[in-house]
Amino acid sequence: METRADDFYPTRLERPVPAFDRRDPVIHSSGNARTEGPLSETELARYERDGFLAFNNFLDADTVKRFRDDLRTYENDDSILRSEGTITEPGKQEIRSVFGIHELSDRFDRLTRDGRILDMVHQLLGSEAYIHQSRINFKPGFHGKGFDWHSDFETWHAEDGMPRMRAVSFSIALTDNTPFNGPLMLIPGSHKTFVPCVGRTPEDNYQSSLKKQELGVPNHRDLQQMADQYGIQAPTGPAGSLIIFECNTLHASNANMSPWPRSNLFFVYNSVENQLQQPFCGNKPRPEFLGNRTNSRALKPLATPDLRRTG
Amino acid sequence: METRADDFYPTRLERPVPAFDRRDPVIHSSGNARTEGPLSETELARYERDGFLAFNNFLDADTVKRFRDDLRTYENDDSILRSEGTITEPGKQEIRSVFGIHELSDRFDRLTRDGRILDMVHQLLGSEAYIHQSRINFKPGFHGKGFDWHSDFETWHAEDGMPRMRAVSFSIALTDNTPFNGPLMLIPGSHKTFVPCVGRTPEDNYQSSLKKQELGVPNHRDLQQMADQYGIQAPTGPAGSLIIFECNTLHASNANMSPWPRSNLFFVYNSVENQLQQPFCGNKPRPEFLGNRTNSRALKPLATPDLRRTG
């Protein structure tokens, strides 16, 4: 496959090519738009350096409980169980992930329009934004598998046609994150480098990659170099804590060997100025529940996003 | 299979039976033998409560380096590579574990006779002791697999015929233990309970169990109950740190997803008053490199165990 002239981040190549510096800013706002948002200059500098920020107690315990109760409710909701974006345990009605959850759950939809969150998103992306992907995850105790090191942007670029690095992920813990239940591990600073990955992408790769990612995994030499240089961090904290991470920050998670389940909300904002194109790997686009192409208008903040409301 | 009359800890049963309190003390010494050893009363109380103790900087950096160099040397030593107790990477000469290392390495042998260590062992076991099993481990970065929750005593009792809980393991890190390279996880307090495991033991079970333990894994209900009650701990520390853990303390380790290898020395002391019998699972004994039956005389401390000496 030939690399497209408009491809700033060629990947899924037949032969290894060296990693290179990202071609986009980390923080896209400037002037007043940068200084007048909710994130302090210290937090912005840390995000620019590390590619992520962690906040404890972002959601209160009552709201956390409502989201967890929702997850249990979904297991008895046929329309959600039948949804293409719902991944259940083999042979059971136990839900592992519900993708596209912001279109199914009014509470989740309201969360994505929370003014506190959108103001941070605008500050980081320097524009209005929409939801590229959302999901609620449930990782059971003892069984939850890990996920190998990867950059989300690398997949979104290759398989969804996201042109530039101008997206940011929010992960809100619905259970305590401990060192033992497979917490998110990040390589701070890795977002500054793009590591092209080797290997042609098969059609419908997502059907296997949601279980175990084999393509889009950076080579060990580059991973080792970045981990040696920057270290690895795994923010822990009580249920309700928030991790914001840049779309190109390398991350992974280990298996959950503890008895304690791990649930979280995960949603990705993409800049309205960074609309999806044809996938750069040359395949047809992935389903909408993985890379939204339909509802890409700017999200407007809710005046009072009451997340405690029923439903 | 019928349970033997002298079997204090029946396990590998056809049907689940409830967990029960251990029938042996945790610390076997008393009087002067208890109070005059190197471990303080605070440390002894912690070991009695938690089933383990962790010490940073037990071995100095120079000694650690010599043991690591030894491991590299073994990869070019045919007699070690051919040893039954040497586990290498499939298709490579990269060593994963060398069992029975105290009989192959003079330096390791001297370490097991170190007066500081033997005095602690005597204090904990209330008698003289010998080496039941020893090994040096090398877990490479990215690839190192985890090990499921288990009690070592459960296996040593069932498969080696160790009659009572009167053994203690020493694990000395040759690399830094971080939260990310698959460190030892322990359930403090779990050593007080014996969890009988379900399932008949096939002959030569060790050939597969060294790779992935499937028998001798406690049921999830008991594991959850103990983890909820006691929590999980994973001592971290620089190379040279020591973890002492009681033979029945439940432990596990996760995969090493970091680029950084994890090596350690591991050796088990058994009381000379707790000699191996026929395996309680009814099978023939495992090989000597897993459960030593030949050299079970009391170890005598070396006057000056110089671990820096060549060889």
Mean pLDDT of A125-132: 98
State the smallest CA–CA distance between residue B178 and chain A in angstroms: 10
Tell me the three state secondary structure of residue A275.
Answer: coil
Tell me if B180 and A234 make a contact (CB, 8 A cut-off): yes
Tell me if A185 and B228 make a contact (CB, 8 A cut-off): no
Compute the distance between CA of residue A100 and CA of residue A42 in angstroms, rounded to an integer: 33
CA-closest candidate to residue B240, choices B304, B171, B289, B187: B171
State the smallest CA–CA distance between residue B126 and chain A in angstroms: 34
Tell me, what's the pLDDT at A311? 46
Question: DSSP character for A188?
Answer: T
Mean pLDDT of A80-100: 83
State the smallest CA–CA distance between residue B131 and chain A in angstroms: 30
Element of type H or E holding B98: strand B95-99
Asked if A275 and A128 count as a contact pair (C-beta separation under 8 A), the reply is: no
Share of chain A residues as helix, strand and coil, in percent rounded to the nearest 5: 25, 20, 55
Tell me, what's the pLDDT at B217? 87
Q: With a threshold of 0.95, tell me whether the complex ipTM lies above it.
A: no
Those residues of chain A whose CB sits closer than 8 Å to some CB in chain B are 141-142, 146, 148-149, 178-180, 185, 220, 223-224, 227-228, 232, 234, 252, 254-255, 257-260
State the smallest CA–CA distance between residue B212 and chain A in angstroms: 14
Compute the distance between CA of residue A136 and CA of residue B100 in angstroms, rounded to an integer: 49
Tell me, what's the pLDDT at B212? 62
Compute the distance between CA of residue A192 and CA of residue A225 in angstroms, rounded to an integer: 13
Query: If you measure CA to CA, which chain B residue comes closest to A182?
Result: B254
Compute the distance between CA of residue B247 and CA of residue B92 in angstroms, rounded to an integer: 33
Query: If you measure CA to CA, which chain A residue comes closest to B259?
Result: A224
- Residues from chain B that touch A220, judged by Cβ atoms under 8 A, are 141-142, 259
Q: What is the mean pLDDT of chain A?
A: 91
Compute the distance between CA of residue B12 and CA of residue B119 in angstroms, rounded to an integer: 35
Compute the distance between CA of residue A54 and CA of residue A47 in angstroms, rounded to an integer: 10
Kindly report the backbone phi and psi dihedral angles of residue A74, in degrees, each rounded to the nearest multiple of 5, phi listed first. -60, -30
Tell me, what's the pLDDT at B209? 67
Tell me if A257 and B146 make a contact (CB, 8 A cut-off): yes
Tell me if A223 and B146 make a contact (CB, 8 A cut-off): no
The string over B84-108, giving b where at least 16 C-beta atoms fall within 10 Å of a residue's C-beta and e elsewhere, is ebbbeeeeeeebbbbbbbbbbbebb
pLDDT confidence tier of residue B275, bands split at 50, 70 and 90: very high
Flag whether pLDDT at B305 surpasses 70.
no
Flag whether pLDDT at B311 surpasses 50.
no
Structure tokens at B32: 């002067």
Asked which of A187-191, B148-152, B210-214, B224-228 is least confident by mean pLDDT, the reply is B210-214
Tell me, what's the pLDDT at A306? 63
Burial of A167 (0-12, 13-18, 19+ CB in 10 A): buried
Compute the distance between CA of residue A119 and CA of residue A36 in angstroms, rounded to an integer: 9
Mean pLDDT of A100-105: 90
**A with B: how many residue pairs have Cβ under 8 Å apart?**
53
- Residues from chain A that touch B255, judged by Cβ atoms under 8 A, are 146, 254-255
In tens, the pLDDT along B35-89 reads 999 999 999 999 999 999 999 999 999 999 999 999 889 888 888 888 889 988 7
- Residues from chain A that touch B149, judged by Cβ atoms under 8 A, are 257
Residues 6 or more apart whose Cβ sits within 8 Å of residue A21: A192, A193, A194
Flag whether pLDDT at A146 surpasses 70.
yes
Query: If you measure CA to CA, which chain B residue comes closest to A187?
Result: B258
In the block, which residue shows the tokens 């010998």? B130
Compute the distance between CA of residue A16 and CA of residue B111 in angstroms, rounded to an integer: 46
Query: For residue A149, which amino acid is it?
Result: W
Query: If you measure CA to CA, which chain B residue comes closest to A184?
Result: B180
Flag whether pLDDT at A74 surpasses 50.
yes
Of residues A104 and A56, the one with the higher pLDDT is: A56
Structure tokens at B152: 């070592």
How many Cβ atoms from other residues are within 10 Å of residue B212's Cβ?
A: 10
In the block, which residue shows the tokens 């890409």? A296
Question: DSSP character for B174?
Answer: S
Asked if B161 and B282 count as a contact pair (C-beta separation under 8 A), the reply is: no
Residues 6 or more apart whose Cβ sits within 8 Å of residue A197: A11, A12, A13, A154, A158, A215, A216, A217, A218, A219
Helices (H), ranges, chain B: 31-35, 41-50, 61-74, 78-81, 101-104, 106-112, 115-125, 152-160, 206-209, 220-230
Which residue of A142, A254, A259 is in closest CB contact with B254? Answer: A254
Tell me, what's the pLDDT at A58? 96
Flag whether pLDDT at A31 surpasses 90.
yes
Q: What is the mean pLDDT of chain B?
A: 91
Quickly list DSSP for B249-275. Answer: --EEE----SSS-EEEEEEEEEETTS-
Which residue of B180, B223, B232 is in closest CB contact with A180? Answer: B232
In tens, the pLDDT along B95-137 reads 889 999 988 899 999 999 999 999 999 999 999 999 999 999 9
Quickly list DSSP for A11-42. Answer: -SBSS----EE-SS-SS---THHHHTSSS-HH
Query: If you measure CA to CA, which chain B residue comes closest to A227?
Result: B259
How many Cβ atoms from other residues are within 10 Å of residue B219's Cβ?
A: 14
Using a pLDDT cut of 90, give the percent of chain B over it.
73
Kindly report the backbone phi and psi dihedral angles of residue B149, in degrees, each rounded to the nearest multiple of 5, phi listed first. -60, 135
The C-alpha torsion from A110 through A114 and A115 to A116, rounded to 10°, is: 170
Question: What does the angle CA A114 – CA A120 – CA A121 come to, to the nearest 5 degrees?
Answer: 85
CA-closest candidate to residue B152, choices B25, B291, B26, B7: B291
Flag whether pLDDT at A1 surpasses 60.
no
In tens, the pLDDT along B188-234 reads 999 999 999 998 888 877 776 666 667 888 999 999 999 999 999 99
State the smallest CA–CA distance between residue B218 and chain A in angstroms: 12
Tell me if A220 and B258 make a contact (CB, 8 A cut-off): no
Domains of chain B from N-terminus onward:
20-271 (2.60.120.620)
B140: left (phi over 0), alpha (psi -120 to 50) or beta: beta
Mean pLDDT of A194-216: 79
Those residues of chain B whose CB sits closer than 8 Å to some CB in chain A are 141-142, 146, 148-149, 178-180, 185, 220, 223-224, 227-228, 232, 234, 252, 254-255, 257-260
